[in-house]
Amino acid sequence: MPNELALLIEHSDAAGRAVVQEAAVTAGLMWKCRARSCPTTYNRIGEPLCRGCGRDRKGRFLPDLQPGLYAVPDELWEQLRTEVVQHFAGEQGTPTPDAVTFLWECESRTEPWSFTEVVLHYGGRQEKYQTAFAGTEIAELLKEIALAVEPNYLDNLRIGLPR
C-alpha cells in the first residue's frame, strides 16, 4: 500500500497532492507533523520521527533515552550533554546533531557503550559516525553513568542536544 500511496502523491498536482495526503492521514497511512516551521508536513505511518524536523508525532523533539535500572543523576546527564555539544562545536565538517545515540557494545560494567561508533540524529535522518571518544571527558562521563545506572543487555544511550 505505501508504494501505491507514493505513486498517487508523486503523480498529483498541488491541489490533488493535498487531497491525497489529507485522505492518507484520515485513513491512518500518514501522519502530519505538528511543527509549523517544518518543511516536511507529512510522514509515512512507519516513521516515528518527522523527516524534516526530527520531532515525534506530538511535536516534541527527540527525547533522551536513559538506559539501565536506575535514573542517571541529573548533574552527570547535563555534564555529558555539555561535553557532547562542545565536541561537535569543535568538529570541522560535522554539524551539531539533534541527538546522539551511544551504541551498546559489550557487557563491561564500566564501558558498555562504543567509544568509536555512535549514531547521529539530524531531523528524522540517522547517520553512523566514526569517532575516538576513548580517553576523553565524554568517555569518563559514560563510565560514571554506567556505574550509576547498571545498563542492561543492548541498552543504548541517547542524549538530545539543545538547538
Q: pLDDT averaged over consecutive 10-residue blocks of the chain (163 residues)?
A: 76 88 86 78 77 74 81 91 91 85 84 87 84 88 90 88 76
Q: What local confidence, expressed as pLDDT, does residue 1 receive?
A: 46
Domain range annotation of the chain: 2-44, 74-160
- Stated as kind and residue range, the H or E segment containing 30 is strand 30-32
Q: What local confidence, expressed as pLDDT, does residue 78 receive?
A: 92
Task: List the one residue out of 152, 102, 147, 100 whose CA is nearest residue 126.
Answer: 100
In terms of pTM, does the model score above 0.75?
no
Q: What local confidence, expressed as pLDDT, does residue 142 receive?
A: 92
Q: What local confidence, expressed as pLDDT, does residue 82 receive?
A: 94
Q: What local confidence, expressed as pLDDT, does residue 131 receive?
A: 84
